[in-house]
Amino acid sequence: MTTKMCYLSGMTSFYPFYLMEHRGLTIDKAQLYIFVFLVAGAIGTFMGGPLADFWGRRNVIWFSIIGALPFAFLLPYANLFWSAVLLFVIGITIIASSSVVVVYAQELVPGKIGTVSGLFFGLSFGIGGLAAAALGALADWTSLGLVIHLCAFLPLLGLLTIFLPSDRKLREWANQAELESSGAK
């Protein structure tokens, strides 16, 4: 969730300026590309839950990362038409797991739904904000082009999800925790 928020912060904050600087777009036209990205993300959010029910939470999280990587790598090199297409695909895939990640985390820590949800959203948005500030400083120090190229690599950090337990193992832990808590009463 954290690497996703860093990517989202970087793209929504700096990609319109990149389009203005490197593709000669006006601010209103550059913002349309972010609109495409965020609309696709909203669609992806709605798709993520049913996909997780069918395919498994961890698999949707994996798909969200692996599916976005090739498109994120291509985005800095794409023309305007393909940029819109790539942004749409990246938006759907990378944001599809947002709700799934929160539910997955809630299952990791059963009985602490509010704490886990608050921690995940607070921490991820906070780190995303810090990432935007850091990327802004880097853009000032170097260039917007470098920042957009760097953002293309941020989803790679999401590959650390390989260390997440499988859905089956997660259910076993949740059942064990439920038995232990009911036995304590």
pLDDT in tens, 90-125: 999 998 888 888 887 887 777 788 888 888 878 888
CATH class in words for 2-184? mainly alpha
Please give the pLDDT value at position 31.
96
pLDDT per residue as tens digits for the range 48-80: 989 989 988 888 888 888 889 999 999 999 999
Is the separation of the CB atoms in 107 and 167 below 8 Å? no
pLDDT score of 178 more than 60: yes
Please give the pLDDT value at position 163.
75
Please give the pLDDT value at position 152.
93
What does pLDDT average to over the chain?
88
Please give the pLDDT value at position 3.
80
Is the separation of the CB atoms in 93 and 67 below 8 Å? yes
Is the separation of the CB atoms in 57 and 99 below 8 Å? no
**Stronger pLDDT, 158 or 90, i.e. the higher one:** 90
Q: How far apart are CA 38 and CA 20, in angstroms?
A: 19
**Stronger pLDDT, 70 or 184, i.e. the higher one:** 70
Please give the pLDDT value at position 182.
67
pLDDT-above-90 percentage for the chain: 51
pLDDT score of 32 more than 80: yes
Long-range contacts from 22-31, C-beta under 8 angstroms, 24+ separation: 22/144, 22/145, 23/80, 23/83, 25/80
* 3 state DSSP class of 27: helix
- The residue behind tokens 């498994």 is 56
Q: How far apart are CA 30 and CA 12, in angstroms?
A: 11
Sign of CA dihedral 74, 78, 84, 85: negative
Q: How far apart are CA 110 and CA 28, in angstroms?
A: 45
**Pure H helices in the chain:** 2-23, 27-55, 57-74, 80-95, 98-108, 113-141, 144-153, 167-184
Q: What is the pTM of this model?
A: 0.85
